[in-house]
Amino acid sequence: TLERTISTLEMQLASSRASQASTLNGSHAVRDLRDETPKEHPKIFFVMGIMTTFSSRKRRDSIRHTWMPE
């Protein structure tokens, strides 16, 4: 049984090597999984500031609280 197992494994190895060699030679179409995944765009960190004048500190704090709640 050990000899049969070794023989089976040798045949599988030979078959696998032959398959790999034919794939490398171009006889089989090789699909690259990296080409199928959607391309990701780099994440962008964006900060925008608006220069405005406020009539009072209370008004400025009110607007600041509206845009940046705690």
Q: Residue 20: its pLDDT value, please?
A: 76
3-state DSSP helix/strand/coil % of the chain, to nearest 5: 55, 0, 45
Q: How many domains, the chain?
A: 1
- Residues 8-32 have a mean pLDDT of 73
Domain region containing 9 = 2-31+39-67
pTM score of the predicted model: 0.34
Instruction: Please check the confidence at residue 36 and state whether its pLDDT lies above 60.
Output: no
Between residues 60 and 30, the one the model is more confident about: 60
